[in-house]
Structure 1
Amino acid sequence: MPSTTPPTTDARRSTPLRRPDFVRLWCATTASGLATWAMPFILGLAVLHGSLSAVALGLVLAGRTAGFLVAVPLGGVLADRHPRRAVVLVAGLTAAAATPVLALGLDTSTALMTLAATVVGVGQGACRPAFQALTAEVVPVEERQQANAALTFSVRGVTLLAPGLTALAATVTGPGTLLMATMVLWLAAALLPRGGTLATEERPERRPFHVEFLEGLTEARRHPWFLSGLAALTTVIALGYSATNVLLPLAGRDHYGTEAVLAGALTAYTAGALVGALLMSRWRPRAQGLWALFGLGLYALAPLSLAFPVGAVVVFAAYAVVGLGVELFNVPWFTAAQREVAPDKLARVSALDFLFAYGFAPVGLALIAPAAQAFGFEAVLLACALLCVLAPALAALAPGARDFRTPRSP
């Protein structure tokens, strides 16, 4: 593998955590991440309490996903047209306003809950590209890798700690109160960010929505490494991630006879991701793009470890390495986009990232189980593992993929 370049003295001394604007942004993204994660978990508790049926849960979560996917491109255009701080404010307040309606619908109306969840999804989707662009505004270039590592560390920390905290809170209060607590989190996400400037100060004219969105697509096409990397990421999420999410519980039941393998594997994945985020906060490898794609390709270990009864410890180790590899990709990926993409189009390109990476995941989730029934459990897992290796390997051949840098014209 390529050797690494040690950070400079200035890089060691400077840190985005000393910048008040970034700390507020970090707290806001952490709050939005916790609110996003908590909602399906709380609704799952409502099913256990008998205040929500399993069918209603599926409809409500489908509504949230639909709202998210619709709002991501809209949020990207708005965040390049208006101050990113204002877009985050409106998106967070939208999600916060819909949350009490969601709580009100418990035990009363599935339709009302689905509508409210869709609006929450709209707020969630609109703020994602705005947060990415706002990070580039409040953090200088030399500190953005540390900033992105800190942001992803908070996401993984929420995933690790929130289940226990939510379950503990559920012992003293009900799902409705817990949902109202997520409203407070959305208010924090809306009100905390400060700083940032209008990225479109030199573009006062406004064009139709579809024209501005296509401008973002045109900007993305200027960066071959981005398109190839996004194709690889979409493949890994739609096939590898979906396969392991659907088939991991079945592997735990059939190979090991216990659901503990599911909990252990997910915990190991999160722990590995935390280690990966800490590593990428300091590590500046040469050929950073190749290292990132190598980390993405490590996801093949997850379906590979489930294909055969290799022992629970091997599964846990594989998931820990996969989690580390995901952050080996994520942090340089976000940092490179913030560096290479034109600032006035960054939110729209980030919206494309989220739209493709997460938009195809439901397709994978829907197709994996029928494919496993038709072709066999092991065959599907092995095919997913192979594609998780091939997609990043092909992406590494794109111009600029070595360093995630766009080749400049002479």
Structure 2
Amino acid sequence: MWRQQQRGRDGRTRYRLALPSWAGRNYLLLTGATVIANLGSSGALIATAFAVLAAGGNATDVGLVAAARTVPLVLFLLIGGAVADRLPRHRVMVAANALNCVSQGLFALLVLAGEPRLWQMAVLAALGGTGQAFFAPASEGMVLASVSGDHAGRAFAVFRMGMNGASIGGAALGGALVAAVGPGWVLAIDSASFALAAALRAFLDVSGVPARAPGGGMLRDLRDGWREVASRPWLWAVVVQFSLVNAVVSAAEAVYGPLVAEQHLGGPGPWGLALGAFGAGTASGALLMTKFRPRRILLVGSLCVFPLALPSAALAVPLPAAGLTAIMFGTGIAIEVFAVTWMMALHQEIPEEKFSRVSSYDWLESLGMVPLATALAGPVQDLIGRTTALWCCSALIVLLTAAVLCVPDVRRLTRRTTPEAVAVAVAGENAPARDGAETA
């Protein structure tokens, strides 16, 4: 869609790729690095599970290796946010990518060498989670700050479209490569993708970023970050909401969904199609947000959380595979609208020098309850039945979202349209050095 035509001396019409005026050097570097890293990481998630199984592990062992990555991610998120607000964020991102490159490279060598031990895979997974804990808060908001305020929403939507597309394509490609050449080579590709992403991020232009004054200590920095969250009702309301929403959605999709698919929908094929439809929906939602610029950003975003209750309800009925797939696609569109409006609100309202700390609390609350919810999903099903548990998941999402809409600031927060207004709100760094929320 970014093509311009020219007519040459010979009278022929020629076309050349023309990027939009807001897509500067930093934006392209950040987006390219994210697409590359997500392509590798999405395939590596599949490869890790099959590497554990190929080494003689069972489903419990796969879960242990997954938990080994999640636990340090949760434990180090707040520290990662404080570090990212003290040091140049692009350097924190490069260092985190380097750690992920090394950990995945060693994982690949172990698998290719044959018969890796469970504890070795768990340790390397934990190193990967540690890298993500430092990367995630540092990366938040960087894409939005690499473009002017008037183009921030469109730029972030395009960024999310590339990120989601890379995740979908990476998972499909990774699954095919695991079957063709084995999980070790897929892990090696992931290591190389982190190396390339780190190299791209190392070339970010941060000449306009002022040096940060030293803080008063890590604990003080964390307290300051918490005060930023607690002082804004719209912020802590949504953070608390998603600590529970993410938990019940994860329980429904990770535990109940496969069971319903096996017993009522025809097995893993229809369930995989439904999950793929959700991913396609997120990409479509990002495309929508390149054109849609709501004025009341949090009101629109929060209304789009309600559809998250539909997949659990569809599984509770259960609907046929075609109906579930359609619902998952629509839910993907809706939640992507929320994701873009949420990041716009954070970028607009949070002081730049405290952004990573606030982001780390957001990440912590979003992930902290997920392991507990997935662990309790089985016992809850045994206690009240799967259908009742799924209806409870839907009801909880609806009630929490309705409660958030009762917060006046959520309904009233409006998008600022001029770069000057955004600069005042962000208070400081009109900088080309902040990236978007990533999964890589």
Structure 1 length as normaliser, TM-score?
0.89
The match for 2:226 is: 217
Q: 1: CA distance between counterparts of 2:311 and 2:260? A: 12
One-letter amino acid of the structure 2 residue matched with residue 83 of structure 1: P
The match for 2:186 is: 178
Q: 1: CA distance between counterparts of 2:164 and 2:412? A: 26
The match for 1:265 is: 274
- 167-176 vs 331-340, which moves further: 167-176
Q: Shift in Å at residue 162 of structure 1? A: 1.9
Query: Could you say if the C-alpha distance between residues 113 and 190 of structure 1 is closer, same or farther in structure 2, counting changes exceeding 3 Å?
Result: same
Q: 2: CA distance between counterparts of 1:200 and 1:63? A: 37
After superposition, the C-alpha distances for 1:357-391 in whole angstroms (9 at most, x for unaligned) are: 11211111111221111101111111111111111
> For the Cα contact (< 8 Å) 2:296–2:412, is it kept in 1?
yes
Q: Shift in Å at residue 184 of structure 1? A: 1.0
Aligned pair 1:29/2:34, yes or no? yes
The match for 2:237 is: 228
One-letter amino acid of the structure 1 residue matched with residue 205 of structure 2: G
Q: 1: CA distance between counterparts of 2:63 and 2:319? A: 33
The match for 2:102 is: 97
- 363-372 vs 332-341, which moves further: 363-372
Q: 2: CA distance between counterparts of 1:340 and 1:394? A: 22
Aligned pair 1:158/2:163, yes or no? no
The match for 2:296 is: 287
Partner SS for 2:145: helix
Aligned pair 1:124/2:129, yes or no? no
Q: 2: CA distance between counterparts of 1:14 and 1:222? A: 40
The match for 1:204 is: 213
> For the Cα contact (< 8 Å) 2:22–2:151, is it kept in 1?
no
The match for 1:350 is: 359
> For the Cα contact (< 8 Å) 2:23–2:155, is it kept in 1?
no
- For residue 391 of structure 1, the aligned residue among 394, 400, 411 is 400
- For residue 114 of structure 1, the aligned residue among 122, 145, 161 is 122
Partner SS for 2:373: helix
Q: 2: CA distance between counterparts of 1:113 and 1:198? A: 42
Q: Shift in Å at residue 53 of structure 1? A: 4.8
Query: Could you say if the C-alpha distance between residues 14 and 28 of structure 1 is closer, same or farther in structure 2, counting changes exceeding 3 Å?
Result: closer
- 109-118 vs 28-37, which moves further: 28-37
> For the Cα contact (< 8 Å) 2:297–2:414, is it kept in 1?
no
Query: Could you say if the C-alpha distance between residues 273 and 67 of structure 1 is closer, same or farther in structure 2, counting changes exceeding 3 Å?
Result: same
- 349-358 vs 106-115, which moves further: 106-115
Q: 2: CA distance between counterparts of 1:197 and 1:232? A: 38
The match for 1:377 is: 386
Query: Could you say if the C-alpha distance between residues 112 and 327 of structure 1 is closer, same or farther in structure 2, counting changes exceeding 3 Å?
Result: same
% identical aligned pairs: 27
One-letter amino acid of the structure 2 residue matched with residue 234 of structure 1: S
The match for 1:43 is: 48
Aligned pair 1:332/2:337, yes or no? no
For structure 1, list consecutive stretches of 5 or more residues without a partner in the other structure. 1-12
Q: 1: CA distance between counterparts of 2:270 and 2:264? A: 10
Aligned pair 1:83/2:88, yes or no? yes
Query: Could you say if the C-alpha distance between residues 133 and 288 of structure 1 is closer, same or farther in structure 2, counting changes exceeding 3 Å?
Result: closer
Query: Could you say if the C-alpha distance between residues 198 and 394 of structure 1 is closer, same or farther in structure 2, counting changes exceeding 3 Å?
Result: farther
Aligned pair 1:360/2:334, yes or no? no
For structure 2, list consecutive stretches of 5 or more residues without a partner in the other structure. 1-17, 416-424, 426-440
Aligned pair 1:73/2:82, yes or no? no
Query: Could you say if the C-alpha distance between residues 196 and 371 of structure 1 is closer, same or farther in structure 2, counting changes exceeding 3 Å?
Result: farther
Partner SS for 1:206: coil
Q: Shift in Å at residue 403 of structure 1? A: 4.5
May I ask how many residue pairs the two structures share in their alignment? 395
After superposition, the C-alpha distances for 1:171-209 in whole angstroms (9 at most, x for unaligned) are: 4423222211111111122221212468673x5233221
Q: Shift in Å at residue 254 of structure 1? A: 2.3
> For the Cα contact (< 8 Å) 1:88–1:127, is it kept in 2?
yes
The match for 2:263 is: 254
- 17-26 vs 56-65, which moves further: 56-65
Partner SS for 2:294: coil
RMSD of aligned Cα (Å): 2.4
- For residue 195 of structure 1, the aligned residue among 205, 227, 244 is 205
